[in-house]
Structure 1
């Protein structure tokens, strides 16, 4: 129903952002809300998808149209709902996801929360050969491993880390998984968005 919303980012939380447009605040669920941290108060375009169920009407939003298209393809796979699709997109490296589908890499795909072997196989069956319109370059080149971020000696920014862990929990990662990576994350000095991206790299190893 809504292709996009142009407005001002007024609030950022672990699961969603609030964008004000013409006096109305739209709650928009996004893969990683904290990517908008440096845009709070700024006017921007969010590409949206309205999801309707008997007991829920939710608005999902994305930075780019391609990201939105990827979301729509993911939720079209049996066994993947909007929350699971957000967790996959939050990884921040769609090329690597496309590569895993094309290479039938079930081991990689099952590392996402809520994706078991059956769902990974379904993703491959449904999406293989159908993602070139979204990430055509990813089908032609190998994906280089993510570079490790620099380490700092002390962590004096617990609030940023706490917000990141809340966002990861909202995506479906278990308390056990988050406890496992928290000590290492605590040694690094980063923003909330950077914590989330680094944590996802660790969780996907």
Structure 2
């Protein structure tokens, strides 16, 4: 029903955000990974999953389409609901989840609250064939303690690139002495050549 909501961040709570659009405040449940990308009074786009249940209507949303896609995949797993999906996405980013699934790493998935051995095994078994191996970055963290690079990564992802695409080009750059603007410029040059 809803694809996305663009609006001003009116409130940030522990597990949800209120986005105001045309005088209406939408309560959108989200992951901790998305919450760190949000700031009060800033304009944002939240990609939405609409959930109609007997006890009410719930909106789940994320700051990237990649995270929403992973949330939708997790919901395909039997006995995994929105709450467990959010817990997994609050513990691991989409790339880390894909790596855990492809490597049969149930231990990584068990770090998420509410995910035990059985649930982790089900996630791996039921999603293994649905993961696109080409969109995965093997070495997740190649930038150590570099805030400039982290800001650049989020900036480039906000332009519509997936985390996998961004991390592939980031591995080719030496970001240690670069400022955010330079990192973004150089990364976009490399992305345009792909």
* TM-score normalized by the length of structure 1: 0.64
- Whether the 8 Å contact between 2:5 and 2:47 is mirrored in structure 1 is yes
Residue in 1 aligned with 2:165?
none
Deviation of the 1:56 alpha carbon: 2.7
Residue in 2 aligned with 1:28?
28
Residue ranges of structure 2 left out of the alignment (5+ in a row): 147-194
Between the two structures, name the one with larger relative contact order (CA 8 Å, sep ≥ 6): 1
1:1-205 paired onto structure 2 within 5 Å: 1-32=1-32, 34-37=35-38, 39-132=39-132, 136-138=134-136, 141-144=138-141
How far, CA to CA, are the matches of 1:103 and 1:48 in structure 2? 29
- Whether the 8 Å contact between 2:37 and 2:63 is mirrored in structure 1 is no
How far, CA to CA, are the matches of 1:64 and 1:2 in structure 2? 15
Secondary structure at the residue paired with 2:87?
Answer: helix
* TM-score normalized by the length of structure 2: 0.67
Deviation of the 1:42 alpha carbon: 1.8
- Whether the 8 Å contact between 2:48 and 2:59 is mirrored in structure 1 is yes
- Whether the 8 Å contact between 1:30 and 1:86 is mirrored in structure 2 is yes
Residue ranges of structure 1 left out of the alignment (5+ in a row): 150-205
- RMSD (Å), alpha carbons: 2.4
Residues 21-70 of structure 1 show CA distances to partners (whole Å, capped at 9, x for unaligned) of 11111011110264244x32122211111112111310011001111111
